[in-house]
């Protein structure tokens, strides 16, 4: 099949590369000339384990191409994916300006029937709006389909190539057939393609992300309660996760969820609910608890140093919002860096992949270090923000030698509290 992917960011690049890998001819379109230039030279623009080898192979085999021209990119395409940004607008709702701009343009340049697919996370009613925008100038038939994406950064290739399920919202028989054929190689494992109406598909995406954010938040609350009651959240997690109705995944307490999606999608669903006069109480609590959770380590640090953080230097391990990505959007680390700087502390940071991205946002307000041990030079405490494997089994002796006070604040529960006590640390983790 001939596929066009409009928007070659995270989702666009994974979508384009994976569909090329399953034998389609894919042209990815982006307005960012620099990005397209790099991609045309075979330079990958995101860090995603396992993607580069597929990307290089499909470019070599001329199944994957890049352009800045929408007209050229969609020429002859059977399916056109819109993988465009939907950032939060001022009121928290998803901003549809990128999607609707492309939809407007598509109307006049479509030369033959195509299935236009909303791959971006978009509120209920967007497929209808996209249809109207294209219809204004369209001279040919087309269908608009909702096909939300459920991939996670860091394991995006696996999530895309072996999806738990594929959700497709359409009532068009023609579009359904085309989408079925396109996804057939990806659902051979027997996982379902679930067809439904467009609105239900759009809401499914927000429901999934909001449910997962709620699950994490619930565990963060249980963790906070554990600290007050003397229980251990790891034990409680194991105790409840073995109930198959609850499941083991997404039960890890920490310093709050981050990333480019959970925060914005929970906020957008809350706003959509308000717009139809529905007070979605759980979502309001989830957002409030998550904001509070991000301050947990700082609160403890302030307590330890009796609010005297002026002139203290803090080492920070991990900047990305989670491991195996260089993505720092809504990363708890950024929140904590800013809070430390405001309190007059200095910060020394290390992350295996995300430092360049942090430099772009924070500049030289913090010191960037070559590795985890260099961050510890002349510092008063260590904060752990991301559970990269390299931080899991460090040389505690070296850490202790380098810190002026043996204080570790661990937002990801990497170490055993008992062992830390034996090693002579004051160790604060979440819910233990
Ligand atoms: N990042 C993720 O892990 C996931 C994201 N999503 C959703 O997918 C959508 C896209 O997200 P990301 O890929 O992270 O965004 P992104 O910000 O990484 O990429 C968007 C791309 O669209 C391009 N663009 C903007 N206007 C354009 C136009 N008129 N024509 C062509 N290209 C244009 C930008 O230059 C950028 O390269 C969002 O709705 C997001 O919520 C869904 C699942 C996973
Ligand atoms: O819509 C999206 O963009 C994507 O959002 C999330 O994927 P992602 O943001 O890549 O990352 P997750 O692995 O879900 O983690 C999100 C945040 O939750 C935190 N988290 C996750 C799991 C957990 O048990 N505890 C926890 O605190 C992570 O540290 C991270 O900050 C969803 O998991 C994907 O299904 C979805 O497609």
Residue 191 to residues 166, 185, 204, 246, Cα–Cα distance (Å): 8, 11, 17, 20
Residue 189 has pLDDT above 80, yes or no: no
Residue 331: what pLDDT? 97
Burial class (CB in 10 A: 0-12, 13-18, 19+), 267: buried
**CA neighbours within 13 Å on the CB side: how many for 203?**
10
Between the CA of 262 and the centroid of ligand 2 the distance, in Å, is 7
Between the CA of 83 and the centroid of ligand 1 the distance, in Å, is 5
Residue 350 has pLDDT above 90, yes or no: yes
Query: Which residue, among 9, 64, 53, 15, has the nearest Cα to 31 in the 3D structure?
Result: 9
Ligand 1 atom closest to 105 (CA): 29
Residue 188 has pLDDT above 90, yes or no: no
Residue 187: what pLDDT? 87
Residue 305: what pLDDT? 97
Atom 28 in ligand 1: residue holding the nearest Cα: 31
Task: Find the mean pLDDT for residues 216-227.
Answer: 98
151 pLDDT tier (thresholds 50, 70, 90): very high
Lining ligand 1 with CB less than 6 A are 6-12, 29-32, 35, 83-86, 98, 101-102, 120-121, 149, 151, 153, 260-261
What the chain holds in terms of domains, given with CATH numbers, is 2-196 (3.40.50.720), 205-292 (1.10.1040.10), 294-428 (3.40.50.720)
Contacts of 197 (CB under 8 A, 6+ apart): 169, 170, 171
Residue 287 to residues 88, 214, 299, Cα–Cα distance (Å): 14, 9, 19
Residue 332: what pLDDT? 97
Contacts of 228 (CB under 8 A, 6+ apart): none
Task: Find the mean pLDDT for residues 21-26.
Answer: 97
Residue 399 has pLDDT above 90, yes or no: yes
Mean of pLDDT over the chain: 97
Residue 322: what pLDDT? 96
For residue 106, give the ligand nearest its CA. 1
Helix (H), strand (E) counts: the chain: 17, 14
190 pLDDT tier (thresholds 50, 70, 90): confident
Active-site residue, 261 included: yes
Between the CA of 291 and the centroid of ligand 2 the distance, in Å, is 16
Residue 348 has which token pair? 């020394």
Task: Find the mean pLDDT for residues 355-376.
Answer: 97
The three-state secondary structure class of 6 is strand
For residue 262, give the ligand nearest its CA. 2
Residue 191: what pLDDT? 87
CA distance 92 to 90: 6
Task: Find the mean pLDDT for residues 144-156.
Answer: 97
Residue 364 has pLDDT above 90, yes or no: yes
Residue 30: what pLDDT? 98
Give the global pTM. Answer: 0.96
Contacts of 115 (CB under 8 A, 6+ apart): 78, 79, 80, 142, 143, 144, 145, 174, 175, 178, 179
């Amino acid at each position: 099949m001939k596929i066009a992917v409009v928007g070659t960011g995270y989702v666009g690049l994974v979508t384009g590369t994976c569909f090329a890998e399953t034998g389609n001819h894919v042209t990815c379109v982006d307005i960012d000339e620099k990005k397209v230039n790099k991609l045309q030279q075979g330079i990958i623009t995101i860090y995603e384990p396992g993607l580069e080898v597929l990307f290089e192979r499909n470019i070599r085999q001329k199944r994957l191409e890049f352009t800045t021209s929408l007209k050229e990119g969609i020429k002859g395409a059977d399916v056109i994916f819109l993988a465009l940004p939907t950032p939060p607008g001022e009121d928290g709702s998803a901003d549809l300006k990128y999607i609707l701009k492309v939809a407007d343009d598509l109307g006049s340049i479509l030369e033959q029937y195509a299935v236009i697919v909303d791959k971006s996370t978009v509120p209920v009613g967007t497929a209808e709006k996209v249809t109207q925008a294209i219809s204004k100038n369209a001279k040919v038939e087309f269908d608009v389909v909702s096909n939300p994406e459920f991939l996670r950064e860091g394991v995006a290739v696996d999530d895309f190539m072996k999806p738990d399920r594929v959700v497709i919202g359409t009532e068009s028989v023609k579009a359904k057939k085309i989408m079925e054929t396109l996804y057939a190689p990806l659902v051979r494992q027997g996982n379902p393609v679930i067809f439904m109406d467009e609105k239900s598909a759009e809401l499914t995406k927000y429901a999934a992300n909001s449910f997962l954010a709620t699950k994490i938040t619930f565990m963060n609350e249980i963790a906070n309660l554990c600290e007050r009651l003397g229980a251990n959240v790891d034990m409680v997690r194991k105790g409840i996760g073995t109930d198959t109705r609850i499941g083991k995944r997404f039960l890890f307490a920490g310093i709050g969820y981050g990333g480019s999606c959970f925060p914005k999608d929970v906020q957008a669903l809350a706003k959509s609910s308000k717009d139809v006069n529905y007070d979605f109480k759980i979502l309001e609590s989830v957002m409030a608890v998550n904001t509070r959770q991000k301050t947990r380590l700082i609160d403890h640090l302030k307590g330890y140093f009796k609010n005297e953080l002026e002139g203290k230097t803090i080492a920070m391990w991990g900047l990305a919002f989670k491991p195996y990505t260089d993505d720092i959007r809504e990363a708890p680390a950024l929140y904590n860096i800013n809070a430390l700087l405001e309190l007059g502390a200095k910060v020394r940071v290390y992350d295996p992949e995300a430092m360049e991205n942090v430099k772009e946002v924070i500049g030289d307000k913090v010191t960037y270090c070559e590795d985890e041990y260099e961050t510890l030079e002349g510092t008063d405490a260590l904060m752990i923000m991301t559970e990269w494997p390299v931080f899991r089994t460090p040389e505690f002796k070296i850490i202790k030698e380098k810190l002026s006070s043996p204080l570790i604040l661990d937002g990801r529960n990497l170490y055993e509290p008992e062992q830390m006590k034996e090693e002579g640390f004051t160790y604060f983790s979440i819910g233990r």
